[in-house]
Amino acid sequence: MQKRHAFAETTGRCSGPAPSGSSSWSPSTSDIDLMVVSDRLAYADLFAALEKASTELGRKIAPTIYSSKEFTARVKQGNAFVKRVLAQPKLWLIGNDGALAT
């Protein structure tokens, strides 16, 4: 899949999943929402890699990055954004639903 290839540069540094809303993957011009859980990937590195992917895909990519500790805390707090992402269908770039066990 072309979209997975576009993100390949960052996948080696993600220790957790990188799910996104499935609607972001439909053929359109809407933004791609990307959530990354990683203890090794800095936001600046992710953003730089996503610029290349954004150009390749012809769509803006809106990333959210959490450390595994921060992600777990947000799940336990009932964070509205995280709850919404967990409830929606996802296209996994890395991992699967089991990788989100908190």
Side-chain half-sphere CA neighbours of 29 within 13 A: 0
> 49 phi and psi, to 5 degrees?
-65, -35
Q: What integer is the mean pLDDT of 9-25?
A: 50
How many domains does the chain contain in total?
1
Report pLDDT for 31. 84
Range of the domain at 77: 2-94
Q: 3-class SS at 34?
A: strand
Report pLDDT for 4. 53
**In this structure, is residue 100 part of a structural domain?**
no
Q: What integer is the mean pLDDT of 7-30?
A: 53
Tokens of 92: 């996994």
**In this structure, is residue 102 part of a structural domain?**
no
Unique residue bearing structure tokens 């921060």:
70
Tokens of 8: 């390949």
Q: Which residue has the higher pLDDT, 55 or 5?
A: 55
How sure is the predictor about 24, in pLDDT bands with cuts at 50, 70 and 90? very low
**In this structure, is residue 62 part of a structural domain?**
yes
Task: Kindly report the CATH number assigned to the domain that includes residue 43.
Answer: 3.30.460
**In this structure, is residue 101 part of a structural domain?**
no
Report pLDDT for 88. 85
Partners of 27 in beta bridges: none
Answer yes or no: is pLDDT of 15 > 70: no
Report pLDDT for 41. 87
